[in-house]
Structure 1
């Protein structure tokens, strides 16, 4: 079985290939809601070829997307070029976990996939911090259930808003400043955003732990999570593979269902 896993966030879309033993390729592209199946196919054909693969080698597809208008085109990519019906998180995929929130259907696909990927690897109660377009904090119980959490603006989103709303503030790149007190505008912005996010993470982790009332192992993941390594002790582990691990487990659970 050669599986194509597609994980689509608001900013980037990841395509990964698993050969039933290991992940053998991963690629990312900017998320564009109106990109057609044919456009995806042209791009993906070249990348598959560079790895000695073609669409004819792929016989399974799983899709997780937080961009509903893109699912139609991703589904068509699988149907038209792989000749398989894709498994779609939130539609026809059985997850095998309990979602303990008021409206379970409102839980984002990415958050549930991360919960499954984390529970596979780490014991006990978990707090997952996923840093992307939004920064999510989600609690996963020791039995694997999704307990809910909170959603905050992502660090890139905050930088963009700062630049767009203030005429004199430039667009800057995210990086860890050496000092908290900036000596010019760029340093001040970098410090405010970076250390502000560290303070947000540390403050929310403390509050969540106090409310949960039991030990939590804190796992950092997502596109910009690596920026925070070494800057805070509130995150116990950094794991960039929660999502693809979760997607693979969902595929296996559905492949073996009665």
Structure 2
């Protein structure tokens, strides 16, 4: 079994794979103040709840966009699994040509999503990841990562409105069912949800024009992907497991080198 970690600014998503089968997955809050002992305890408890033997984990791979958390998390993994985790970054084989001005600037999560989406759905593709930020990534028919767009996430936009407007309340992110609303709460919900649908549709439309291809598939992932996808025909596929699958695929592409490395440092 391998354990995969997708470390985002808001949540850490973990999954355990047996070959290509996802046995279980968990989502916990990203906390920069947690110690390695606290992360070790949480991970151990999740394995116990799911009745998965922690000793069956043979390797660990991490994708992270939160550098400040890595020391504690990696230390917890070393203590729990007696393994030096594989961290997605320079030197890790992805099988994807990254056509960015500086490939090192592309978030690991965006590359992991791109690898998974192209492996599962082929190209050309547009990937929309509804996370703390909402990212839009374009993949060519040949599987090249072409670049994309980053916008504030839905929750960030909602929180900013609540924090900066004294009389406006914090609201639940649900569809109000109409745009012409008769109270403040549903008016805010309408503006955030339907306004964001408009943002998503416009960016996808512009990216499709620039890709100039036929049969461009749009894949959405992330916590609020289902909510937005239900309001637009521009999103064709919702894949909540995209990032976890991408980590598994990248691990498989590095398996041979990884086993040699673990043998060299005495962790095989």
TM-score (normalised: structure 2): 0.92
Q: Secondary structure, in 3 states, of the residue corresponding to 1:24?
A: strand
1:81 paired residue number? 80
2:232 paired residue number? 232
2:58 paired residue number? 59
1:19 paired residue number? 18
| Residue ranges of structure 1 left out of the alignment (5+ in a row) | none
**C-alpha distance 91-103 of structure 1, shift in aligned 2 (>3 A):** closer
1:188 paired residue number? 187
- CA deviations 1:50-107 (Å, max 9, x no partner) are 2223432212000011001111122112212100111101155222211101010000
Aligned-residue RMSD, C-alpha: 1.3
Q: Is 1:102–2:80 an aligned residue pair?
A: no
Any conservation in 1 of the 2:14–2:244 contact (CA below 8 Å)?
no
Q: Secondary structure, in 3 states, of the residue corresponding to 1:161?
A: helix
TM-score (normalised: structure 1): 0.96
Any conservation in 1 of the 2:116–2:243 contact (CA below 8 Å)?
yes
| Residue ranges of structure 2 left out of the alignment (5+ in a row) | 261-268
- CA deviations 1:196-221 (Å, max 9, x no partner) are 00100111111111122113211111
Q: Is 1:256–2:260 an aligned residue pair?
A: no
1:28-39 → structure 2 map (5 Å cutoff)? 28-39=27-38
Length, aligned pairs only: 257
1:67-216 → structure 2 map (5 Å cutoff)? 67-91=66-90, 93-215=92-214, 216=216
CA distance, structure 2, for counterparts of residue 123 and residue 93 of structure 1: 21
CA distance, structure 2, for counterparts of residue 234 and residue 51 of structure 1: 37
2:241 paired residue number? 241
- CA deviations 1:127-181 (Å, max 9, x no partner) are 0011111111100112222110000000000000000000000011101121011
**C-alpha distance 134-231 of structure 1, shift in aligned 2 (>3 A):** same
Any conservation in 2 of the 1:123–1:142 contact (CA below 8 Å)?
yes
Quote how far apart the aligned CAs of 1:256 are.
Answer: 2.7
CA distance, structure 1, for counterparts of residue 198 and residue 5 of structure 2: 33
Q: Secondary structure, in 3 states, of the residue corresponding to 1:16?
A: strand
2:221 paired residue number? 221
Any conservation in 2 of the 1:34–1:69 contact (CA below 8 Å)?
no
CA distance, structure 2, for counterparts of residue 219 and residue 178 of structure 1: 24
CA distance, structure 1, for counterparts of residue 57 and residue 163 of structure 2: 43
Any conservation in 2 of the 1:4–1:61 contact (CA below 8 Å)?
yes
Quote how far apart the aligned CAs of 1:21 are.
Answer: 4.3
